[in-house]
Structure 1
Amino acid sequence: MNEPIPPITEDDIANYLLNTPSFFERHAEVLAAVQLTSPHGQRAVSLQERQAEMLREKIRGLELKAAEMIRHGQENTAIADKLQRWTRELLLTRDARDLPRVVADQIERQFLVPQVAVRVWGVSPEFAGEDYAQGVSEDAQAFTSSLTQPYCGGNPGLEAARWLPDPAAAVSLALIPLRPGLAPDAFGMLVLASSDPQRFAPDMGTDFLERIGQITSAAFSRLRPATSAAVA
């Protein structure tokens, strides 16, 4: 007894058409006769028209991706320009005593950060009387050294927030530890604050903030004793 022939499936038809492109050359009228439902309504369209619609949709998707890439590129260029201008101001600062003020003022100006505070400890004796070298507890110093990367998030009432001009308006914070190279102990902290809770969100990237911290740390080596700066 002959075994029953299995029914032809859609996959069988699809595989046949894919492997037999000459079919449409021999039966060109089939392409013109096939009618599909348009995704933009209930009207019927030909296979060629449906393929054209799919191609247009793909092109629109590629255009959107290209526009997004251009926008990101423009944003990155703008940030790089701001970072360069900020770094230039640090290099042009002759008096080391003015560095913390220049760092804070230029971050506010270049990156439109509402509030910025700087604290440094272990400075050379000639800078020990400056405001930025005052009012940092041992707990705050230990907390700063414990940060392996910048902290971004809400303000849970940290001591660092009280260094800001208006602590009550500091809803979100970025706390950037300042340390000599790869040394574990920090010698300062840079505090950025905003009234916008999403400005410094916990899930934001910290690569750019780390660069700010590295450049600031290098500039502030002029505030530290010569032996400490040499170790850095």
Structure 2
Amino acid sequence: MNTNSIPPITEDDIANYLANTPDFFERHASLLAAVQLTSPHGHRAVSLQERQAEMLREKIKGLELKAAEMIRNGHENTTIADKLQLWTRALLLTREPVDLPVVAVREIANQFMVPQVAIKVWGVAPAFEDQLFAQGASDDVKAFASSLTRPYCGANPGLEAAGWLDDPSSAASLALIPLRAGISPQAFGMLVLASADPQRFASDMGTDFLERIGEITSAALSRLRPE
């Protein structure tokens, strides 16, 4: 018999054999105590049972960290939901339509700790045309607002809308939220959120929450539009 033609036994062969022979260690129980592995803690030699216990502890620790993160995220989401409810409630309790832009801006700043907030609305009913919130938006910024399919988040490159803020020079990051009536592609206003923190409204952040803010603001401010 030519032994050279027999392929060598590989680690995979051994692993497959052990996986498919669960009673192997029952027949050779002494091996479990004899096998020594290197511990990742101090590089000392430990028994197979001790190494398995270490791996189990590490797995439990990882699960505990994930559970703690889930709880923390849950608390944060509850806090955001509570603030959103308070902001929405303030809009609903505003009787006079002319007061809505001021309330929307003030409550966003207070509830969500946004340093600077501004808003402009165009195409309003004649009774509101002389209001400050209905003035100062050029055709270019109106077209820009209509072109946004979702809020713009990122740096402040000197956009016109940043000029609506009290202190445009301190706005390192912006969120520009278009306001629309229903599914209309044309925007009738824009909400501007700004922060001195360049990461507060980073370009890679999710915009789902900002979109909800835009939808609620749009619904509230639709009372300013001609009937």
Which range, TM-score by smaller chain?
over 0.9
Structure 1 CA distance for aligned equivalents of residues 209 and 77 of structure 2: 11
Matched residue, 1:22: 23
| 3-state SS in 1 of match to 2:108 | helix
Distance across 2 between alignment mates of 1:16 and 1:181: 65
* Aligned pairs (5 A) from 1:9-158: 9-158=10-159
1:100 partner letter: P
**Alpha-carbon separation, structure 2, partners of 1:170 and 1:216:** 22
Q: Which residue of 1 aligns with 2:220?
A: 219
CA displacement at 1:7 relative to structure 2: 2.3
Q: Distance in 1 between matches of 2:157 and 2:9?
A: 67
Deviation of the 1:3 alpha carbon: 5.2
| Separation in structure 1 between the aligned mates of residue 148 and residue 220 of structure 2, nearest angstrom | 20
CA distance in 2, matches of 1:50, 1:25: 19
Residue matched to 2:177: 176
**Counterpart Cα distance in 2 of 1:7 and 1:166:** 75
> What letter corresponds to residue 100 of structure 2 in structure 1?
L
CA distance in structure 2 between the partners assigned to 1:43 and 1:156 by the alignment: 57
> Which whole-Å deviations, capped at 9, do the CAs of 1:144-175 have from their partners, x for residues lacking one?
11111100011111111111111111111100
Report what 1:230 is aligned to.
Answer: none
**Amino acid of the structure 1 residue aligned with 2:209:** F
**CA-CA distance at 1:6 after TM superposition:** 2.5
Alpha-carbon distance, 1:139 to partner: 1.0
**How much does 1:47 deviate?**
0.3
Which AA in structure 2 matches 1:113? V
- More off after superposition, 144-153 vs 9-18: 9-18
Structure 1 counterpart SS, 2:187 = coil
Deviation at 1:12, TM superposition (A): 1.7
State how far apart, in whole Å, the 1-side matches of 2:2 and 2:143 are: 86
Q: Does 1:192 align with 2:178?
A: no
Tell me, in whole angstroms, the C-alpha distance in 2 between the residues paired with 1:117 and 1:88. 20
Alpha-carbon RMSD: 1.0
Q: Kindly provide the CA deviation profile for residues 112-147 of structure 1, in whole angstroms up to 9, marking residues without a partner as x.
A: 000000100111111111110111111111111111
Match of residue 8 from structure 1 = 9
SS of the counterpart of 1:42?
A: coil
Structure 1 residues not aligned, in runs of 5+? 227-232
Q: Percent identity?
A: 76
Figure out how many residues of one structure are paired with residues of the other and give that number.
226
CA distance in 2, matches of 1:69, 1:180: 36
Separation (CA, whole Å) in 2 of partners of 1:218 and 1:225: 14
Distance 2:134 2:25 in 1: 82
Please state whether the residue corresponding to 1:8 is helix, strand or coil.
coil
After TM superposition, give the deviation of residue 195 of structure 1 in Å. Answer: 0.6
**CA separation in 2, counterparts of 1:139 and 1:10?**
68
| TM-score normalised by the chain length of structure 2 | 0.97
1:126 maps to amino acid: A
The runs of 4+ residues in structure 1 deviating greater than 4 Å are none
Give me the TM-score of the superposition, normalised by structure 1. Answer: 0.95
Deviation at 1:72, TM superposition (A): 1.1
Give, as a single letter, the amino acid of the residue that structure 2 aligns with 1:71: R
1:229 aligns to what?
Answer: none
Moved more, 17-26 or 104-113: 17-26
